[in-house]
Amino acid sequence: MGTYIIRRTFDLLPTIFVVAVIVFIITRLIPGDPAAVMLGPQASVEDIEALRENLGLNDPLYIQFLQYMGNLATGDFGTSLTYNQPIVNLIMDRFPNTLILAVSALIIAFMVGVPAGIISASKQNSLLDYSVMLVSLIGVSMPIFWLGVMLVLYFSVNLGWFPATGMGTLDDGLIPFIKHLILPSITLATIPMATFARITRSSMLEVISQDYIKTARSKGLNEFWVICKHAFKNALTPLLTVLGMQISMMLGGAVLTETIFSWPGMGRLIVDAIDKRDFVVVQGTVLFIAVIFVVVNLLVDIMYKVVNPRVNYTTSKGGTK
Amino acid sequence: MSDLLLKVEDLEVHFRSSSSIVKAVNGVSFTLNKKETLGIVGESGSGKSVTATALLRLIPNPPGNITGGMMLFEGTDLLSLSDKDMRSVRGNEISMIFQDPMTSLNPVFKVGDQIMESIRAHRKVSKKEAKAAAVDMLKLVGIPEAEKRINMYPHEFSGGMRQRVMVAIALACKPKLLIADEPTTALDVTVQAQILDLMRHLQDTIDTSIIMITHDLGVVWEICDKVIVMYAGNTVESGSVKTIYENPLHPYTWGLLDSQITSEISNEEGLSAIPGSPPDLREEMPGCHFADRCPYAQEICFSAKPEMVEVEEGHSVSCHFQTKNTRLQRKERVYHG
Amino acid sequence: MSLQSTVAAAEKKMAKPKKETSLFKKLIRNRLAAIGLAVTLFMSIIAVFAPWIATHPPNEMDVVSSLKIPGTDGHLLGTDNYGRDLFSRLVYGARISLIVGVSAVVFGAFFGTFLGLVSGYFGGKLDSIIMRTMDGLFAFPFILLAITLMTVLGQGLVNVIIAIGVANIPGFARIVRGQVLSVKEEEFIEVTRSLGATDGRILFQHVLPNCLAPLIVYGTMSIAGAIISEAALSFLGLGVQPPTASWGSILKDGKDFLVLSPHMATFSGLAILITVLGINLFGDGLRDALDPKMKI
Ligand SMILES: Nc1ncnc2c1ncn2[C@@H]1O[C@H](COP(=O)(O)OP(=O)(O)O)[C@@H](O)[C@H]1O
Ligand code: SF4
Ligand SMILES: [Mg+2]
């Protein structure tokens, strides 16, 4: 297991390299002079030239690339002109907020979606099953930015139960903190919740018809135990394979959710930066999110091996398909 | 008879789908004494597994249902038990081994845990005691290095070893009845013999009765005391192994015997010597279910159902012509080779 | 064999002699898929015949009658903050959604299929280079990749199609590659090769047709995703250029006037939801009919 983790970690390096290259290429694809674009139409020629020099845009491309990779390797994502701060600092300011949002959404999605899928599968073709399936299909089809707006409309504007925007700090007490958190995390949880329900249901249905479930029943175990222990642990594998993808989608969804709720996270940072035409921030943040995703996938792969003793530790690639 | 362990009478199991009802088991009756071994034989699809599953009341519902009959186990009708009481029978008083050892163990739990779970479901014992008992069981079923093996996963065991583990799970609570549903069909010939030996040996050690389901008459001759022959959800012949071996009466039983000889000669598994295929269980059949394939069938066979009639002490058969004075003579088959 | 698999086998045996049921019949019999198909067709008709269905020119402003509630002065769904007829804008918005949805997926499917075919069929170094790149692209959350590309490309319909299309490439590449790998092992490929067929011929005549079912299913689901992405980009102000009506941009305006005129946000979002739900229902049905083992 230890060597497996180490080897998979080294496996990540090429992917991270490719991610960095992609971001570099996108940066250079900006039509026209990036410096001019960044500074906007009012900028003077001297300012633009100074910025070009500053950004290293006057160097040959391969030098720029080496420079860029070297900076990344030392954790330097560049400096924002509009915020006048290293991008790493901006990210470190915002990332915990996004993490809070994403983790609470993930918890909601898991705690609602998985049991819904289990119940649905164990009462296959019942009215309850159909309802869960219908609701979850609506869930996966949901434009969450609309859902967020609607939640604000009903629960903040009309009912006044929850604040429409912003994030509470824990200094203000737990209640306001949670009140701020509820609507955005429900918004962000919707799609993974529905996906978990669907995947759990279909893999539970597959597992429930297996012989070993009959064995478990023939031992005299009660049905709850058979389903939740014997069946669910086997059904977990497909759930884990979608988990990585869902986390990726949530990081994307966070951009929209944070915009609607003015949540001071990384998504909000990106959208603000786009408004301010501060592309360095956009690219740095996007790169950071991609790296996070790669690391999360490593963790998912490791979990995959933990729940699935059949998987051979020596072969690479488990969960990515 | 104080020796009576199980008495099944007119057991009926039906499966309904949206458009039809499959009468998978249609009035099966038999009795089983303590320490006795009963064989159930029949082609695949004849309702053997459904009968066995019904005994544990594990027929998936929907679509299945036990629609009639009685299953008296030590005098209590299993059908009258509450779900909770039935659970305390399963794995404790009656346990079951399945055909395919590759799929009947849960791949994500250690084999030790799977044995312990069976013990702890029915006995108030500590984890440690259960573990010790599990090790003992593994030793008992002949798995070497039991202390180490207990922490392994099923995929680290061969097919034969897994079936031994299944035997260990089934016998962990010293049940009074062990139902083995084709426990050797999926195994190599040499391993088959080992597993049968093991079961016979353990039967003596823990005094359990066995219902051995098989389509291999060889297995029946080897370990059973009594046998019932099933066809299309019905019992067509039953009796002691001795009588059936020496004096089989039902044309279907003859067919099975012939196919056994054929397969021994040609060394080919499952080669059926009975032409044709079993009837569609969804259809109402007024006559003998075997009539379509029976070389001796007469008009009456298609219109009237033959009753199960005792033709000699403990030997019953359901065929119009085997209960009258004019008995059918079994056609000689000529084998080359 | 387990009880269930015996049953499945038995049921197969008992099933009436099989008449080849056409895909269309299968879909119609699946009630939800039929509903999905109906919704999708309905939206397509609205998109195609927008000029005849719309009651007003979609961009005609009338500041005096702005933010009217549904039903006022012949405005079926009311007006927006510029006094434009909301119903007409939604009708025209269907065009943008469907154009982007279909074009972006065709774009992604074209390049993705090509890369997946080449990668899976030839294997080796080429395969690892292509798939590493796809892994890299996959590391970006879909919408984030589209956002980043839009910041580079700038607003506009074609750019939206390109951005969402590019974000779609890795998904198609992976699906096709997986399919190619399994088809490649089949005997008939070996036979065809031994008969002297060229790689190109094998790829397009034998391998590609075998990828078709999962491609169709995945493609259908991707259209739903692309429609949501377009709306999301427009919602963030990165989509098509104003004043072009897009459901996402209407929702964006609706959000700013949420308290005064909730109808803007409500109807534009409903339009997105219904369309996407319809396509997903249809896609589910397609999957069940074409490729039940596929997990999406
Ligand atoms: N879950 C089920 N649903 C519908 N029919 C079933 C089910 N299980 C068994 N059957 C029917 O019962 C018949 C007997 O099956 P089974 O007992 O498994 O045969 P055997 O074990 O003798 O090979 C099968 O032919 C099948 O039609
Ligand atoms: S009753 Fe008739 S058909 Fe049935 S087994 Fe006897 S002879 Fe054959
Ligand atoms: Mg069977």
Does any CB of chain C come closer than 8 Å to the CB of residue B322? no
Q: How confident is the model at residue B2 (pLDDT cuts 50, 70, 90)?
A: low
> pLDDT at residue B22 above 60?
yes
Q: For the domain with range C45-50+88-290, which CATH number is right: 3.10.620.30, 1.10.3720.10, 3.40.228.10, 1.10.287.1770?
A: 1.10.3720.10
The stretch B142-152 carries a mean pLDDT of 87
**pTM of the prediction?**
0.84
Query: Residues of C near B (CB-CB distance < 8 A)?
Result: 1-4, 6-7, 10-11, 14
> pLDDT at residue B211 above 90?
yes
Burial letters A126-165, b for 16+ CB under 10 A, else e: eeebeebbeebbbbbbbbbbbbbbbbbbebbeeeeebbbe
Assess contact for C255 and A149: CB atoms under 8 A: yes
Most confident segment among A10-14, A252-256, B276-280: A252-256
Q: Whose CA is nearest to atom 11 of ligand 1?
A: B24
Rounded to 5 degrees, what are φ and ψ at B24?
A: -75, -35
Number of CB atoms found within 10 A of residue A240's CB:
19
Under DSSP, the state recorded for B290 is T
DSSP characters for chain C?
Answer: --HHHHHHHHHHHHS-------HHHHHHHSHHHHHHHHHHHHHHHHHHTHHHH-SS-TT---GGGTTPPTTGGG-TT-B-TT--BHHHHHHHHHHHHHHHHHHHHHHHHHHHHHHHHHHHHH-HHHHHHHHHHHHHHHTS-HHHHHHHHHHHH-SSHHHHHHHHHHHHHHHHHHHHHHHHHHHHTSHHHHHHHHTT--HHHIIIIIIHHHHHHHHHHHHHHHHHHHHHHHHHHHHTT-SSPTTS--HHHHHHHHHHTTTT-HHHHHHHHHHHHHHHHHHHHHHHHHHHHH-TT---
> pLDDT at residue A21 above 70?
yes
How confident is the model at residue A264, as a pLDDT?
92
Residue B323, classified by CB atoms within 10 Å of its CB into exposed (0-12), middle (13-18) or buried (19+), is middle
Spans of chain C, pLDDT less than 50: 1-19, 296
Give the Å distances, CA to CA, from B290 to B279, B303, C127, C201. 8, 12, 60, 55
Q: How confident is the model at residue A237 (pLDDT cuts 50, 70, 90)?
A: confident
How confident is the model at residue C210, as a pLDDT?
81
> pLDDT at residue B281 above 60?
yes
**Chain B residues inside the 8 Å CB shell of A230:** 106, 109
The stretch A277-305 carries a mean pLDDT of 85
How confident is the model at residue B222, as a pLDDT?
84
Does any CB of chain B come closer than 8 Å to the CB of residue A179? no
Strand partners, B7: B31, B72
| Ligand 1 binding pocket includes B63 (Cβ within 6 Å) | yes
> pLDDT at residue A146 above 90?
yes
The stretch B228-252 carries a mean pLDDT of 89
**Ligand nearest to the backbone CA of B279:** 1
CA distance A314 to B13: 48
Distance from CA of C1 to the nearest CA of B (A): 7
* CA of B301 relative to ligand 2 center, distance in Å: 6
Burial letters B219-240, b for 16+ CB under 10 A, else e: bbebbbbbbbbbbbbbbbbbbb
- A21-30, A80-89, C148-157: least confident range: A21-30
Give the Å distances, CA to CA, from C77 to A22, B96, C74, C245. 44, 67, 9, 15
Q: How confident is the model at residue A30 (pLDDT cuts 50, 70, 90)?
A: low
Is A309 close to B117, i.e. CB distance below 8 A? no
- List the one residue out of C283, C128, C278 whose CA is nearest residue C220: C283
HEC states along chain A?
Answer: CHHHHHHHHHHHHHHHHHHHHHHHHHHHHCCCCHHHHHHCCCCCHHHHHHHHHHHCCCCCHHHHHHHHHHHHHCCCCCEECCCCEEHHHHHHHHHHHHHHHHHHHHHHHHHHHHHHHHHHHHCCCCHHHHHHHHHHHHHHCCCHHHHHHHHHHHHHHHCCCCCCCCCCCHHHCHHHHHHHHHHHHHHHHHHHHHHHHHHHHHHHHHHHCCHHHHHHHHCCCCHHHHHHHHHHHHHHHHHHHHHHHHHHHHHHHHHHHHHHHCCCCHHHHHHHHHHCCCHHHHHHHHHHHHHHHHHHHHHHHHHHHHHCCCCCCCCCCCCCC
Residue in C1, C3, C14 nearest the CB of B53: C3
Residue in C1, C10, C14 nearest the CB of B99: C1
3-state secondary structure of B210: strand
Complex prediction ipTM: 0.86
Residue in C2, C151, C268 nearest the CB of A274: C151
Q: What is the pLDDT of residues A177-189, one digit of tens each?
A: 888 899 999 999 9
The stretch B35-43 carries a mean pLDDT of 90
Q: Whose CA is nearest to atom 19 of ligand 1?
A: B45
* CA of B299 relative to ligand 2 center, distance in Å: 10
Residue in B98, B106, B122 nearest the CB of A220: B122
CA distance B202 to B171: 9
Which amino acid, one-letter code, is at C100?
V
Query: Which single residue is written with the structure tokens 């690391």?
Result: A295
Residues 48-107 of chain A with CB under 8 A from chain C are: none
- List the one residue out of C229, C217, C132 whose CA is nearest residue C176: C217
- A24-33, B66-75, C202-211, C273-282: least confident range: A24-33
> pLDDT at residue A317 above 50?
no
CA distance A184 to A178: 10
Rounded to 5 degrees, what are φ and ψ at C150?
A: -65, -35
CA distance A35 to A37: 5
| Ligand 2 binding pocket includes B296 (Cβ within 6 Å) | yes
Residue C253, classified by CB atoms within 10 Å of its CB into exposed (0-12), middle (13-18) or buried (19+), is buried
Does any CB of chain C come closer than 8 Å to the CB of residue A208? no
Mean pLDDT, chain B, rounded, equals: 84
Domain ranges of chain C: 45-50+88-290
> pLDDT at residue A54 above 80?
no
What residues are neighbours of ligand 3 (ion), with CB under 5 Å? B 49
CA distance C291 to C216: 10
3-state secondary structure of B26: strand
In this predicted model, which residue has the larger pLDDT, B239 or C1?
B239
- List the one residue out of B137, B209, B138 whose CA is nearest residue B178: B209
CA distance A207 to A231: 6
| Ligand 1 binding pocket includes B320 (Cβ within 6 Å) | no
Under DSSP, the state recorded for B46 is S
3-state secondary structure of B52: helix
Distance from CA of A208 to the nearest CA of C (A): 10
CA distance C45 to C95: 10
Strand partners, B25: B13
Q: What is the pLDDT of residues C178-211, one digit of tens each?
A: 888 888 777 777 777 777 778 888 888 888 888 8
Instruction: Domain A96-266+302-307: give its CATH code.
Output: 1.10.3720.10
> pLDDT at residue B143 above 80?
yes
Give the Å distances, CA to CA, from A15 to A50, A57, B265, C144, C216. 34, 26, 61, 18, 29
CA distance B228 to A95: 72
> pLDDT at residue B302 above 70?
yes
Strand partners, A56: none
How confident is the model at residue B264, as a pLDDT?
61
Quote the tokens at residue A274: 């786009």
Assess contact for B293 and B216: CB atoms under 8 A: no
- List the one residue out of C255, C247, C249 whose CA is nearest residue C236: C249
**Chain B residues inside the 8 Å CB shell of A233:** 106, 108-109
Q: Whose CA is nearest to atom 14 of ligand 1?
A: B47
Greatest alpha-carbon pair distance for chain A in Å reads 83
**Chain A residues inside the 8 Å CB shell of B166:** 215
CA distance A84 to B13: 79
Is A146 close to C151, i.e. CB distance below 8 A? no
Does any CB of chain A come closer than 8 Å to the CB of residue B52? no
